[in-house]
Amino acid sequence: MRNRILVATISLIALAGFGVGFVHAQNASAQSSQTSDVNKESAVPAYHSSRPAGPLPDTLDPAQFTDVQSQNVYALAAKVKSILYQQPCYCHCDKDIGHTSLLSCYTDRHASVCALCQKEAVLAYTESQKGKTAAQIRKDIMDGKWKDVDLSKYETPAPSN
């Protein structure tokens, strides 16, 4: 009889410990999920959430680049400066170079050597031509839709107007 009581007591203690461990695991999992949401949010590179109050800086002149792709993409970027101003750049040049938005990549030579910046700008341009707002384009960029952009289309000279 004593052995049964001892076994029952040990079993209850073990089950209680499992329950505490299970609750702790659930809390840790929920906490981890919240932390990853915060990390996702803080992982978004710098951008401006609204249109600029004043004039924007000029993008670099496409003619100063020797490769056709950079010429074409810088020309597109110049047409949508306000949109680019409101976009993050996922090459994280905000941390490495101090850029404040995707537009910054086109006010210096950075985008000429970064396919990611070029894909984001092409996406921003093409989606703006379809009538999307800067906020809708930003969501597309944050969702990684720039990864599907084919830059090979921009390797040939643009037709002159």
Mean pLDDT by 10-residue block, N- to C-terminus, for the chain (161 residues)? Answer: 51 42 36 36 80 92 97 98 95 90 94 96 98 97 96 87 58
Are 10 and 75 part of one and the same domain? no
Tell me how far apart the alpha carbons of residues 137 and 87 are, in angstroms, rounded to a whole number. 8
Alpha-helix runs per DSSP H in the chain: 2-42, 68-79, 81-85, 93-96, 115-129, 134-142
Are 38 and 76 part of one and the same domain? no
Are 71 and 142 part of one and the same domain? yes
Are 90 and 123 part of one and the same domain? yes
User: Residue 72: inside a domain, yes or no?
Assistant: yes
The confidence score (pLDDT) of residue 33 equals: 36
Tell me how far apart the alpha carbons of residues 134 and 124 are, in angstroms, rounded to a whole number. 8
Owning domain of residue 129: 62-154
User: Residue 79: inside a domain, yes or no?
Assistant: yes
The confidence score (pLDDT) of residue 37 equals: 35
Are 69 and 121 part of one and the same domain? yes
Are 21 and 94 part of one and the same domain? no
Contact of 8 with 61, CB cutoff 8 Å? no
Contact of 106 with 64, CB cutoff 8 Å? no
- And the tokens for 96? 């490495």
The confidence score (pLDDT) of residue 43 equals: 87
The confidence score (pLDDT) of residue 160 equals: 65
The confidence score (pLDDT) of residue 100 equals: 87
Whether pTM exceeds 0.85: no
Largest CA distance in the chain: 99
Are 83 and 37 part of one and the same domain? no
The confidence score (pLDDT) of residue 121 equals: 98
Are 71 and 145 part of one and the same domain? yes
User: Residue 54: inside a domain, yes or no?
Assistant: no
User: Residue 150: inside a domain, yes or no?
Assistant: yes
